[in-house]
């Protein structure tokens, strides 16, 4: 068992803290938000992430997981301190490191012996060196700085942490590597691969990984647009591509574009880092631009069918969160689609199993929020699928038909079978589907 402090109880920090406690370590999570701490101490979860609602209370009850606002006490009682605060994009796309810098300064003031300080937040290349310089200037105590980027997918983050593809550790001192090996031993003992490298390579690995996944998504979305024109079916093309072992099937599903807290932010930050070093990343730049076009494309297709003005039209929207199994609305394609339809004069009625509250914080009362999926489609001229929740896979199509004013379906995730629906009389439009 090790004593671990995790500074920041956002998405990354809470998942990491809960999972380290589940692995048997004693974890103290630190946050400066009293309301969030009150929720967590009471066994509640401030975010929606499957698995956390059982894991957090279980480990709190077992005494392995505690929550506090006292950063100094947490640092002094820990062997390893994770920095997991937010690094939101600034106006130029670069990561805002003010929270990271402030936490590093506080850690420096609290050190009481050798500690391993781990960057878990997604940060630009060179941040590890910056954190080391800050702490060195403020403390005489021994410490090591380590980069340990997260590769968690929202909706399955707990599984990703407990059964990782790889654990990347960037460190320059063997002493720190030994601590990280001990920390992750419960996972490596089960076969998880721990990869040790220098800090800057570790920082770059995070950005490069997300940029590559974003590239695959934008690539298949661009191909889907060509499929629309030439009469090909992107689902057939995707299957044919994915059968090549050099390519594989992952992240080759056409849709309404990617969103969330990682891909858009990390692509922007990587581009900004490249600009700072006078390096042109033409492919990565194209990925970002292609994704913005893809988010708008659904609105363009709808206006192509209905006309530029959508006044008097009612659109049902199934799904608001950027992906299923989360309530995260950051950079969600639903925002672009809803605002585009509203700007053209349409009325939008949406349903999402989890994201109504987070969506309202972004879209307010510009859209209506239905109590269930069928209430959303009542009287609708079209149904637009935005998020591929499992509950939307096989709805009662006869009921949907009876409730809608016009039987128009816009499948933004290629979730449904076109032949089945057109045989029923629906007018179906997918993403690059015949």
- Residues labelled catalytic: 262
Residue linked to tokens 């199994």: 325
Is the sign of the CA dihedral 253, 94, 334, 224 positive or negative? negative
Nearest to 271 by CA among 260, 262, 280: 280
Residue linked to tokens 């950051």: 330
> What is d(CA 387, CA 412) in angstroms, rounded to the nearest whole number?
8
**Which tokens is 34 given?**
């009293």
Residue linked to tokens 């499929």: 227
Backbone angles phi, psi at 323, to 5 degrees: -155, 165
> Is the distance from CB of 87 to CB of 122 less than 8 angstroms?
yes
Burial of 360-375, coded b for 16+ CB within 10 Å and e otherwise, reads eebbeeebebbeebbe
> What is d(CA 359, CA 95) in angstroms, rounded to the nearest whole number?
24
**3-state DSSP call for residue 415?**
coil
Cα dihedral 123/128/133/135 (nearest 10)? 90
> What is d(CA 423, CA 108) in angstroms, rounded to the nearest whole number?
67
Contacts of 154 (CB under 8 A, 6+ apart): 11, 49, 260, 261, 323, 325, 326, 328
The residue length of the chain stands at: 434
Q: Where are the extended beta strands (E) located within 90-232?
A: 115-119, 143-147, 167-170, 194-197
Strands 347-351 and 368-369: parallel
Residue linked to tokens 């909706």: 155
Give the CA radius of gyration of the chain.
23
């Amino acid at each position: 068992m090790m004593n671990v402090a995790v500074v920041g109880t956002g998405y990354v920090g809470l998942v990491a803290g809960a999972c380290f406690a589940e692995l048997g370590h004693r974890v103290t999570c630190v946050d400066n938000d009293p309301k969030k701490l009150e929720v967590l101490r009471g066994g509640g979860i401030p975010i929606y992430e499957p698995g956390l609602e059982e894991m957090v209370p279980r480990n709190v009850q077992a005494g392995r997981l505690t929550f506090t606002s006292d950063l100094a006490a947490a640092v002094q009682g820990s062997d390893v301190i994770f920095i997991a605060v937010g690094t939101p994009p600034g106006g130029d796309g670069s990561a805002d490191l003010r929270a990271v810098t402030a936490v590093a300064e506080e850690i420096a003031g609290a050190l009481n012996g050798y500690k391993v300080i781990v960057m878990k937040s997604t940060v630009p290349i060179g941040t590890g060196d910056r954190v080391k310089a800050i702490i060195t200037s403020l403390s005489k105590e021994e410490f090591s700085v380590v980069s340990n980027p997260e590769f968690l997918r929202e909706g399955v983050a707990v599984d990703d942490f407990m059964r990782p593809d790889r654990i990347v550790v960037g460190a320059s001192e063997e002493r720190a590597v030994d601590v990280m090996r001990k920390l992750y031993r419960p996972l490596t003992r089960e076969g998880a691969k721990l990869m040790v490298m220098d800090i800057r390579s570790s920082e770059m690995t995070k950005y490069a990984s997300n940029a590559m996944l974003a590239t695959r998504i934008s690539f298949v979305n661009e191909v889907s647009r060509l499929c629309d024109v030439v009469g090909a079916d992107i689902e057939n093309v995707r299957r044919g591509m994915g059968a090549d072992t050099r390519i594989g099937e992952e992240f080759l599903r056409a849709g309404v574009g990617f969103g969330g807290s990682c891909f858009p932010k990390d692509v922007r930050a990587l581009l900004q880092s490249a600009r700072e070093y006078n390096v042109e990343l033409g492919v990565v730049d194209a990925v970002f631009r292609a994704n913005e076009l893809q988010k708008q494309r659904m609105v363009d297709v709808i206006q192509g069918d209905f006309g530029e003005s959508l006044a008097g039209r009612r659109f049902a929207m199934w799904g608001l969160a950027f992906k299923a199994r989360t309530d995260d609305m950051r950079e969600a394609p639903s925002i672009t689609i809803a605002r585009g339809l509203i700007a053209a004069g349409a009325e939008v009625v949406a349903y999402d199993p989890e994201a109504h509250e987070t969506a309202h914080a972004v879209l307010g009362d510009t859209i209506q929020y239905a109590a269930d999926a069928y209430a959303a489609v009542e009287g609708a001229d079209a149904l637009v699928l935005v998020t591929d929740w499992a509950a939307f896979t096989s709805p009662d199509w006869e009921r949907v038909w009876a409730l809608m004013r016009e039987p128009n379906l816009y499948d933004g995730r290629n979730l449904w079978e076109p032949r089945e629906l057109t045989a029923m009389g629906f007018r179906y439009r997918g993403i690059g589907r015949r």
